[in-house]
A and B are shown apart, each in its own frame.
Chain A
Amino acid sequence: MIRPQLAIAGLTACFGCQLTLLNCEAELPDIADRFNFTYFPMGMSSPDITADFDAALVEGAVSTPCDLETLVTLRNRSRLLIAIGTCAIFGGVAAMCNEEPRSRLLRTVYGPAADGLASFNPAPLERFVTVDFAVTGCPPERGELLATLAALLRGTFPALPAYPVCLECRSRENACLLIERNEPCLGPVTRAGCNARCPAMAVHCEGCRGPVAEANVAAELELLIAKGVSREELVRRLRRFCPEWDYEQRA
């Protein structure tokens, strides 16, 4: 059997995606048995980035020269590059204020020390390198991370849900927050896989898993505007996890 050599890295991120993997306590012994961890700064001493990897799992957006160097190094050294989490795929929370000047944001956070910092607008991995596979979520579902690792052992990728949250929400027999409660739920335009965790708790979907394929964004906006939410508020909410929606997109 293949014993894949793994790199697991975090760029500009909260490291919650990597933590989700570390939280798979029951499965960690199996994972340690089947994979070689060679570069995993969050989880090991003396990580070695000079090895050749079968797969590199990368969390976070790219927002510094250092991020970019790590990303390019991993791309060069790894057969497969897998984006994990919403930031790595869409930019995520780190990118929600990309419309504002970077220098002002830096000064707000770091004060005068900001002037010496090399930082640019956080962007998804795909902007810089070829990405072979992606596991979305903020953070990703542990089941999806484990399914991805299990598939790597077989030299393939898992079939993860590419449809909207609504299917999982309906099949759990939740009340529809859009229809029954008139709430601005983003479920119809958001990727499933979370088993509608928030709507099941009567909290409308905030879109943390990013846009579903071929989302009818324009119709969702029209529907929510008709419910009395302003376009500005909707755009602000959509931007929280993905700064680059196409608000005119219908198919």
Chain B
Amino acid sequence: MRPFLPEERLGSLLALLGHWGEVYGPVTTGDGVTAFRPVSDPGQLRLEYRRTLIPPKRFLLPPRETILTYSPDAGYQPLDTAQPALVLFGLHPCDLQGIAYLDRVFLEGVVDTSYRRNRQALTIIGLSCEPDEFCFCGAAGADLPAGCDLFLQRTPAGFFVTAGTMKGEEICDRSAQLFTLRQPAGTTPWHHPLADAICRGCAAGETFPDNPLWDRFAERCLGCGACSACCPTCYCYDVLEQGGLDGQAAERLREWDNCLFKSHGEVAGGVNFRRSRRERLQYRFLHKYYGFGALRGVISCVGCGRCRAVCPVEIDLAALFEGEDHDRQ
């Protein structure tokens, strides 16, 4: 028997979660975009959503943020304003995997203090999902990704509740009166054939250097960078300094960088490590499927399908694993 939250008590759970911070969940914006926004009423939630346009990484690594300030009197000062506590409600397993990956990038070894500040402000509530034609995560219903405080397995009548952390246990304790006990029906874990193909290809070290898809991709890639901007595990950033008009004070900013941009591989003197669009696409492929640095060998594609859904010219790097016949254009 497992704790079960009947659907009609979801509002009570949301109200209770408010104790841990402002609750953000998947909603449809006025623009028709699915995005994490503050929710107070379960009626606003899109429990059946497929994916948000921008993954939850924006709460950890904002598109642009000030990371330190300089003034002649105070010198360099890290920005240590406390982040308001947030509860991210309804993250799918792929996005939970994405956060678990970013945690490894920014918190293992040399700790990124700005990321840690943002991360510590988050309470994360996962939600099971139904895949669509764009996603291919291989592990629906598998183990809870690290760092997910509470996970809700949705059924027609409500949610089976699993705590993943101490904080999750605490939430369960505080909301025990909302739960009943039920016998979970056996869920059948499903395996997307593409996920299997990716795992096989990566295990074999495939980089498909002679695949004609590379040229076809490079020819039509607009270099808009949407694939990387919307990727839950793309974390490249640029650091720039902006002086104040007083000629003294300055801020150091970091903003999302993007391997599809010319500037990404550009160094002093106008030299560029990746001059062609083909090389930029290959670089992105290598990062996603083979990893760099301490995370070499870790596949960072979580199968959320965003890069396939947001590409204006339907480029899908994963198609390389399926063979060239699977290019959608």
Does any Cβ of B come within 8 Å of A170's Cβ? yes
Question: B29–A173 contact, CB under 8 A?
Answer: yes
A251–B247 Cα distance when bound, in Å, is 38
Does any Cβ of B come within 8 Å of A222's Cβ? yes
Does any Cβ of A come within 8 Å of B207's Cβ? no
Question: B219–A187 contact, CB under 8 A?
Answer: no
Other-chain residue from B32, B58, B64, B245 in contact with A30 (beta carbon distance below 8 A): B245
Cβ of B240: which chain A residues have Cβ within 8 Å of it? 159
Other-chain residue from B31, B58, B64, B218 in contact with A202 (beta carbon distance below 8 A): B31
Taking the closest CB of chain A, its distance from the CB of B250, in whole angstroms, is: 9
A175–B222 Cα distance when bound, in Å, is 18
Cβ of B64: which chain A residues have Cβ within 8 Å of it? 171
A82–B161 Cα distance when bound, in Å, is 61
Can you list, as one digit per residue, whether each of B247-268 has a CB less than 8 Å from chain A (1) or not (0)?
1000000001010011100000
Question: B242–A166 contact, CB under 8 A?
Answer: no
Question: B312–A173 contact, CB under 8 A?
Answer: no
Cβ of A223: which chain B residues have Cβ within 8 Å of it? 220, 222, 312-313
Segment at the B interface, from A89-97, A211-219, A231-239:
A211-219
Question: A154–B245 contact, CB under 8 A?
Answer: no
Question: A222–B225 contact, CB under 8 A?
Answer: no
Taking the closest CB of chain A, its distance from the CB of B31, in whole angstroms, is: 4
Does any Cβ of A come within 8 Å of B277's Cβ? yes
Asked, given contacts A34-B247, A171-B256, whether A147 binds B242 with beta carbons under 8 Å apart, the answer is yes
Does any Cβ of A come within 8 Å of B276's Cβ? yes
Question: B63–A171 contact, CB under 8 A?
Answer: yes
Asked, given contacts A174-B31, A178-B312, whether A164 binds B224 with beta carbons under 8 Å apart, the answer is yes
Cβ of B262: which chain A residues have Cβ within 8 Å of it? 162-163, 213-214
Question: A170–B263 contact, CB under 8 A?
Answer: no
Taking the closest CB of chain A, its distance from the CB of B228, in whole angstroms, is: 9
Does any Cβ of A come within 8 Å of B244's Cβ? yes
Does any Cβ of B come within 8 Å of A151's Cβ? yes
Question: B312–A163 contact, CB under 8 A?
Answer: no
Question: B222–A219 contact, CB under 8 A?
Answer: yes
Cβ of A174: which chain B residues have Cβ within 8 Å of it? 31, 33
Q: Which of B219-240 contact A (CB under 8 A)?
A: 219-226, 229-230, 240
Does any Cβ of B come within 8 Å of A47's Cβ? no
Does any Cβ of A come within 8 Å of B35's Cβ? yes
Kindly report which residue of chain A lies nearest to residue B245, judged by CB atoms: A30
Other-chain residue from B29, B229, B263 in contact with A162 (beta carbon distance below 8 A): B263
Asked, given contacts A149-B245, A162-B262, whether A170 binds B222 with beta carbons under 8 Å apart, the answer is no
Kindly report which residue of chain B lies nearest to residue A31, judged by CB atoms: B245
Cβ of A109: which chain B residues have Cβ within 8 Å of it? none
Does any Cβ of B come within 8 Å of A66's Cβ? no
Asked, given contacts A146-B245, A147-B242, A173-B53, whether A179 binds B310 with beta carbons under 8 Å apart, the answer is yes
Q: Which of A134-192 contact B (CB under 8 A)?
A: 146-147, 149-151, 153-154, 158-159, 162-164, 166-167, 170-171, 173-176, 178-180, 187-189
Taking the closest CB of chain A, its distance from the CB of B315, in whole angstroms, is: 10
Cβ of A167: which chain B residues have Cβ within 8 Å of it? 224-226, 229, 256, 258, 261
Question: B219–A219 contact, CB under 8 A?
Answer: yes
A154–B29 Cα distance when bound, in Å, is 43
Cβ of B29: which chain A residues have Cβ within 8 Å of it? 173
Question: A189–B222 contact, CB under 8 A?
Answer: yes
A250–B222 Cα distance when bound, in Å, is 9
Cβ of B35: which chain A residues have Cβ within 8 Å of it? 173
Other-chain residue from B245, B276, B277 in contact with A150 (beta carbon distance below 8 A): B245
Cβ of A34: which chain B residues have Cβ within 8 Å of it? 245-247
A214–B277 Cα distance when bound, in Å, is 9
Q: Which of B3-30 contact A (CB under 8 A)?
A: 29
Cβ of B219: which chain A residues have Cβ within 8 Å of it? 219, 250
Kindly report which residue of chain B lies nearest to residue A175, judged by CB atoms: B31
Does any Cβ of B come within 8 Å of A54's Cβ? no
Taking the closest CB of chain A, its distance from the CB of B281, in whole angstroms, is: 12
Kindly report which residue of chain B lies nearest to residue A1, judged by CB atoms: B247
Taking the closest CB of chain B, its distance from the CB of A218, in whole angstroms, is: 8
A147, A159, A170, most chain B CB atoms within 10 A: A170
Taking the closest CB of chain B, its distance from the CB of A1, in whole angstroms, is: 5
Known: A158-B242, A223-B312. 16 other contacts (CB 8 A): A2-B247, A151-B243, A159-B240, A166-B222, A167-B224, A167-B229, A170-B225, A171-B64, A171-B256, A173-B31, A176-B312, A187-B224, A202-B31, A214-B223, A250-B219, A251-B218
Listed in ascending order, the chain A residues whose CB lies under 8 Å from chain B are: 1-2, 27, 30-31, 34, 146-147, 149-151, 153-154, 158-159, 162-164, 166-167, 170-171, 173-176, 178-180, 187-189, 202, 212-216, 219-220, 222-223, 250-251
A-B contact pairs, 17 of them (CB 8 A): A2-B247, A34-B247, A150-B247, A159-B240, A166-B226, A167-B226, A167-B256, A176-B312, A188-B222, A188-B312, A216-B277, A219-B220, A219-B221, A219-B222, A223-B222, A223-B312, A250-B277
9 closest A-B pairs by beta carbon, nearest first, are A166-B224, A171-B63, A188-B222, A153-B247, A188-B224, A175-B31, A150-B243, A30-B245, A170-B229
Listed in ascending order, the chain B residues whose CB lies under 8 Å from chain A are: 29, 31-33, 35, 53-54, 58, 63-64, 218-226, 229-230, 240, 242-247, 256, 258, 261-263, 276-277, 310, 312-313
